[in-house]
Each structure stands twice: as structure tokens, then as C-alpha cells.
Amino acid sequence: MENYYQKDIECASPGQIKEWQDERLTAQVQHMWDNVPYYRAMMEKKGVKPEDIKGRDDLYKLPFIEKSDLRENYPDKLVAVPLKDCVRIQSTSGTTGKRVVAYYTQGDIDLWEDCCARAIMAAGGTNEDVCQVSYGYGLFTGGPGLNGGSHKVGCLTVPTSSGNTDRQIMFIRDLNTTILCCTPSYAAYLGESMKEMGLSPEDIPLKAGIFGAEAWSEEMRHEIQNTLGIKAYDIYGLTELSGPGVAFECSAQDGMHVNEDHFIAEVVDPDTGEPLPDGEKGELVFTSITKKAFPLIRYRTRDICILSREKCSCGRTHVKMTKPMGRTDDMLIIRGVNVFPSQIETVLLKNGYQANYQIIVDRVNNTDTFDIHVEMTSEMFTDNVGEISKRQNELVSALRSMLGIKANVTLVAPKSIIRSEGKAVRVIDKRKI
Amino acid sequence: MSVSQISVFLENKTGALNNLTSVLSDNGINIQAMSVAETSEFGIVRMIVDDAFDASTYLKDAGYIARVSAVVCATISDEPGSLHRIIDVLNNVGIDVEYMYAFLGGRKENHAHIIMKVADNEKAEAALRKAGIELLDED
């Protein structure tokens, strides 16, 4: 028996979905034109007026919004409602100190939580379930989003947030947690820890997990499913668009349904920006058609994926996206955190090192390892082991406060980082995803 | 008054020391004393060589990070108690030794040379000289 949170919407006819999208997009474009001078100027530059947009088929006429536009308008210049109507912000970890701040009205939070509630019910959740949210709470959208969704479904919500593995396991066992929400690598880690404690899947009350915020492979899914004795479901989202729940997996476990009543998904050629037909691989672009405070039109996610409109066995009619297959930029997702090499460069230069470094990411026992090799410089070298170690520790702390996760720093000999055609290889990603 | 020491940054990995000594060997540099301070990831090789400035130029050309600094070198007789004597002198004037290493023979038979890194070379040398301890100077 498939569970739905909003069956009429989730299983609506394609015609109905198009009708919603046409009407909501038209209104959203007018809303942006009226309230966001920056986007109005972009439209004017492209020679588009709100009356040119009559529905989804006119979407291609509109200018893209890029991440650089969000940074340029930090913190609130893209907000489309008076600040008195906003009730919350969430934020991404930022490059070179500039974060993206997303604003929400109460209505925006409601629709975001609805999306998360759909994901929980698609994973088999009901008000009989105990849902443990082990995503971080705070500025990160993972915790607050699934927390809200869990409330809407009526689950008993256990807001453990991330970390403290022993306590996570204690609550799973003592409270009979049935649904776990966290990053896939943390789920794998919890599974390993429980195995070490001598627990078999029969001793673990969990039945399903909703895992997102980082890329994971089918092999990893099988491993998590086997160790925890659960069904593991993927969830997709971006802070810029609300957070987790933009798309979610159903019982078919084969691609994620985009919540098309709230978001229009397009795939475009990353070089030309030309829209590509369904089934072709390209960059995912989203338009939020119902959010009021921080609506984005044609936002380029930099994620590469494929959209599919094939009929799904779960009964849902909304378009499905594959797991992101890569990025069009150099962003890395490490333990669920977005890391740009440029952030590392900034910290190195600020701490007296040169920008000669190499990032090595691997996945050991289903957890990402994150190493940065930094070339020693004559300025940073002293004849004192303690002093070098002290500077190294200062660098580790500075990186941690910039990136939000800890990296192992190794000081290496000058010119020892491989350079191909004079250009250093900055990133070695050994993860097989 | 003091002697010149070269400190070189090395990664703690197989072959690192071999590469360093081959540069010195190829350029005809004679190593008179050497010590290696290591952590799990990197090491500092400290050396007294016959020509510190030549050696540091060759090393820098070969891509190493090398630094020349002044250290105190005391010459003591090769017998029990002689090391204690110099440490005692330094202790009495409140000078801490950051690190030290020793080599036997070398420039004077039946003697040992003690190389010490201290915060204040001049003060250490004055105290040692006052106590009648022989100091090694650059030639």
C-alpha cells in the first residue's frame, strides 16, 4: 500500500500539473517584476515583460539566476516581500565568507514542510512512526526541514540533530525509532557502530531511512539497507529553493519525484543554456513558483542529471530526476557539506601559505575522508617542530571555521604537488559514487 | 662566535633523506654533524656542514626549503661528567636548551662537540667561556 501525504496533488494528471504551473509561474514572474528590482532589471535587459510569460512553455524566455547573483545580493536584496512578513532564514555554508541567506514567510515554511512530509510518507511513514532527525539543526536546512515534515505527518519526532553516536543509538533503541533522517554517510556510520555493538538488523527497530545532502551510490544504498535492515530513500534539495524535499524517492527507489506543484524543473545544456528534452543529460534548473519571500526563477543548480516522465509504479505523476551525476562547477560535497576549492585557497593565503595545495577526498567505510596537502613555504618554515605544528593547527582551525567540517592537513615539500601542464591538480576525488 | 647550522624541511616519507644526501654528495658538501627531528608527517633535518652557505644554495636550487641559523657548539672532553658541566652552567644562568645533538671526534680528537639551540647565543657563550669551556667557531 503506497502512502501519500497529498494524494490529489501527488497523483494529479499531467494536464492538471501543467495548469497549476502555468498559472503559478505567471503570478510568480509578476511578483518578481513588481518586488525584486534586480530581477526586473535582468528581465528588461533580456527584453522580456511579465505579459510575455503566459505559462510553462514561455519559461525559456526568462533570464537565469546564478549563484553569483545570490552572493551579489547578500543578504536580502532578492527578498520579494517586506521583511516583516518573513519569519525565518536558513543559510548555506559560504564561499569566501559570503553565504546565501534564504528568507521564508510562514507560508513558505508550510510548503517546504509539506514537501518533506510527502518524502516521509513516500518512505512509508505514518503518524504511528517515530522519526529521528539526525541532520544538523540550525542554519543548515536538513534538520529543520525534516523536523517540520515529520510533524506534518504526525510522527513522534526525535530531534537529536547530528553527532553523538552513542546517544543516537540509545534513542533509536529506547524510543523504537522507525524512520531515520540523516546524511547517507552518517547512516552508514551508525550502521557500522551498531554492528560493532553486536546488534543485528533484527535488534534495530528502524524500517526506513531518508538520506540526502550528499551523493551516494547504489552500492552504498544496499550496504546501508543490509546493515540497518531498512529501506533507504534519497531526498534532494537546496537551501536556495527551500531545503530538502524539492524532490524525493518513492517505493520504486528509482529516481526522485520533483514536487512540480511548487517547483518547475528543467534540464539545460550547461554551456549554451538551451533547454534539453526529457531524457537528456544536462544541468538542472529550478523555478520556485509558490514561494513568496525568496522566489528564484530559472536557478542554475550546477547539478547534472536527467529528467524522466515515464510512468512510475508508485502512482505519482510528478517528473522524476536521477541522482545528481556530477557538477558543472568545482564544488565538492564532503560529508554533506559544500566545499569550494576557492574557500581553501582563501584560508591558505590568509594564514601565510601559498595557494599550492591538493584536496584528496575518499570514502572509507562509507564515510568521506578529507585531506588537504599544503606545500611548505620558506616563509612558514622555522627550525622548530613545535612552531610548525602550532601553525599547522591554526590552519586546521581556520579551515574548519570557513568550511564547517574538519580537514586533515599535511604539510608537504615544495613543488611536490603534481602539476599537469604547469597547473596543479587541485582535487583528487577517489570516491566511487 | 657561533657556528652555522642548516635546517631543511623534509616530508616524512621513504626516500626523502636519500634525496637530500644525494644533493649534498653530488655537490661535494661534507656533513660534519646531523640530527633529524620528526613528526608523523614531516621532519626537520639539522646539519653542520663544511660550508653552510654553499650547501643552502645547492639545496634551494634543488627545491628544498633550507634555513641557516647560528647555534652554539661547545667542545668537551670525551669522559663522564663533561656534558653535565655545560648543562649545569647554562642552568645556573637560566638558559633553556631548545634542542641539542652531539658528535664525537670531528675537528678535535678525544673530544665531543655539543651543538645547542638556545634563545640567546651570546649570553650562553659568555657563560660557557667564563666557566672555561671551549667553544667551536666557524673557521
Residue by residue, pLDDT tens for chain A (433 residues) are 789 999 999 999 999 999 999 999 999 999 999 999 999 999 999 999 999 999 999 999 999 999 999 989 999 999 999 999 999 999 986 544 568 999 999 999 999 999 999 999 999 999 999 999 999 999 999 999 999 999 999 999 999 998 888 999 999 999 999 999 998 888 988 888 898 889 999 999 999 999 998 778 787 898 899 999 999 999 999 999 999 999 999 999 999 999 999 999 999 999 999 999 999 999 999 999 999 999 999 999 999 999 999 999 999 999 999 988 888 887 888 988 888 887 888 888 888 887 778 999 999 888 899 999 998 988 889 988 889 999 999 999 999 988 888 999 999 988 787 765 445 678 888 887 6
Nearest-CA distance A357 → chain B (Å): 15
Rounded (5°) CA angle A35-A81-A106: 150
Residues of B in contact with A396 (CB under 8 A): none
**Are B42 and A382 in contact (CB < 8 Å)?**
no
Reduce the secondary structure of chain A to three states and give it as a string.
CCCCCCHHHHCCCHHHHHHHHHHHHHHHHHHHHHHCHHHHHHHHHHCCCHHHCCCHHHHHHCCCECHHHHHHCCCCCCCCCCHHHEEEEEECCCECCECCEEEEEHHHHHHHHHHHHHHHHHCCCCCCCEEEECCCCCCCCHHHHHHHHHHHHCCEEECCCCCCHHHHHHHHHHCCCCEEEECHHHHHHHHHHHHHCCCCHHHCCCCEEEEECCCCCHHHHHHHHHHHCCEEEEEEEEHHHCEEEEEEECCCCCCEEECCCCEEEEEECCCCCCECCCCCEEEEEEEECCCCCCCCCCEEEEEEEEEECCCCCCCCCCCEECCCCEECCCCEEECCEEECHHHHHHHHHHCCCCCCEEEEEEEECCEEEEEEEEECCCCCCCCCHHHHHHHHHHHHHHHHHHHCCCCEEEEECCCCCCEECCEECCEEECCCC
Q: Which of A376, A385, A410 sits opposite B65 (nearest CB)?
A: A376
Q: Are residues B91 and B125 in the same domain?
A: yes
**Are B11 and A416 in contact (CB < 8 Å)?**
yes
Q: Which of A378, A389, A410 sits opposite B65 (nearest CB)?
A: A378
Using the 3D structure, point to which of B44, B69, B94 is the last residue of a domain: B69
CATH node for A7-329: 3.40.50.12780
Decide: A211 and A256 in contact? Cβ < 8 Å. no
What's the total number of domains in chain B? 2
Q: Which residues contact A40 (CB under 8 A, 6 or more apart)?
A: A32, A33, A34
**Are B46 and A381 in contact (CB < 8 Å)?**
no
**Are B65 and A381 in contact (CB < 8 Å)?**
yes
Tell me what pLDDT residue A423 has.
53
**Are B16 and A414 in contact (CB < 8 Å)?**
no
Q: Are residues B18 and B53 in the same domain?
A: yes
B interface with A, Cβ–Cβ < 8 A, is 5, 7, 9-11, 16, 37, 39, 41-42, 44, 46, 63-65, 67, 69, 98, 117
**Are B69 and A411 in contact (CB < 8 Å)?**
no
Q: Which of B9, B39, B117 sits opposite A376 (nearest CB)?
A: B9
Q: Give the C-alpha separation, A318 to B75, whole Å.
A: 86
Mutate to test the interface with A, among B39, B46, B65, B101 (most CBs of A within 10 A): B65
Q: Give the C-alpha separation, A39 to A66, whole Å.
A: 11
The amino acid sitting at B2 is: S
Q: Give the C-alpha separation, A3 to A13, whole Å.
A: 18
Q: Look at residues A263, A337, A347 and name the one whose alpha carbon lies nearest to residue A299.
A: A263
Q: Which residue of B has its CA nearest to A386?
A: B39
Residues of B in contact with A410 (CB under 8 A): 41
DSSP B85: H
For residue B95, the SS3 value is: coil
> What is the Cα A397 distance to its own chain's centre?
25
Mutate to test the interface with B, among A354, A375, A381 (most CBs of B within 10 A): A381
Q: Give the C-alpha separation, A79 to A65, whole Å.
A: 14
Domain residue ranges in chain A: 7-329, 333-429
**Are A413 and B16 in contact (CB < 8 Å)?**
yes
Q: Are residues B65 and B75 in the same domain?
A: no
Q: Look at residues A112, A329, A338, A118 and name the one whose alpha carbon lies nearest to residue A241.
A: A112
- CA torsion sign for A22, A28, A29, A30 is positive
**Are A415 and B63 in contact (CB < 8 Å)?**
yes
Residues of A in contact with B11 (CB under 8 A): 411-413, 416
We report the CATH number of the domain holding residue B88 as 3.30.2130.10
Tell me what pLDDT residue B117 has.
94
Q: Which residue of B has its CA nearest to A373?
A: B41
**Are A385 and B9 in contact (CB < 8 Å)?**
no
Reduce the secondary structure of B18-74 to three states and give it as a string.
HHHHHHHHHCCCCEEEEEEEECCCEEEEEEEECCHHHHHHHHHHCCCCEEEEEEEEE
Q: Which residue of A has its CA nearest to B16?
A: A413
Q: Give the C-alpha separation, A65 to A39, whole Å.
A: 8
Q: Give the C-alpha separation, A113 to A90, whole Å.
A: 14
Tell me what pLDDT residue A424 has.
62
Q: Are residues B74 and B105 in the same domain?
A: yes
Q: Are residues B65 and B114 in the same domain?
A: no
Residues of A in contact with B44 (CB under 8 A): 383-385, 388
Q: Which residue of A has its CA nearest to B10?
A: A413
Nearest-CA distance B42 → chain A (Å): 7
Q: Which of A378, A385, A412 sits opposite B44 (nearest CB)?
A: A385
**Are A413 and B10 in contact (CB < 8 Å)?**
yes
Q: Give the C-alpha separation, B13 to A140, whole Å.
A: 40
**Are B65 and A416 in contact (CB < 8 Å)?**
no
Q: Give the C-alpha separation, B52 to B135, whole Å.
A: 18
DSSP B81: T
**Are B39 and A385 in contact (CB < 8 Å)?**
yes
Q: How many CB atoms lie within 10 A of CB A82?
A: 10
Range of the domain at B123: 70-135
Q: Are residues B36 and B64 in the same domain?
A: yes
Q: Are residues B44 and B79 in the same domain?
A: no
Rg of chain B over all Cα atoms, to the nearest angstrom: 16
Q: Give the C-alpha separation, B104 to B76, whole Å.
A: 10
Decide: A362 and A397 in contact? Cβ < 8 Å. no
**Residue A239 burial by CB count (10 A; 0-12/13-18/19+): exposed, middle or buried?**
buried
Q: Which CATH superfamily is domain A333-429 in?
A: ANL, C-terminal domain (3.30.300.30)
Q: Which of B11, B42, B67 sits opposite A383 (nearest CB)?
A: B67
Where chain B has pLDDT below 50, the residues are 139
Q: Which residues contact A110 (CB under 8 A, 6 or more apart)?
A: none
A107 torsion bin: left (phi>0), alpha (psi -120 to 50), beta (else): alpha
Tell me what pLDDT residue A96 has.
45
Nearest-CA distance B110 → chain A (Å): 30
> What are the tens digits of pLDDT across the range B39-68?
888 999 999 998 898 999 999 989 899 999
Q: What is the per-residue burial (b if ≥16 Cβ within 10 Å, else e) of A310-333?
A: eebebebbbbbbbbbeebeeebbb
Q: Are residues B30 and B75 in the same domain?
A: no
Decide: B2 and B40 in contact? Cβ < 8 Å. no
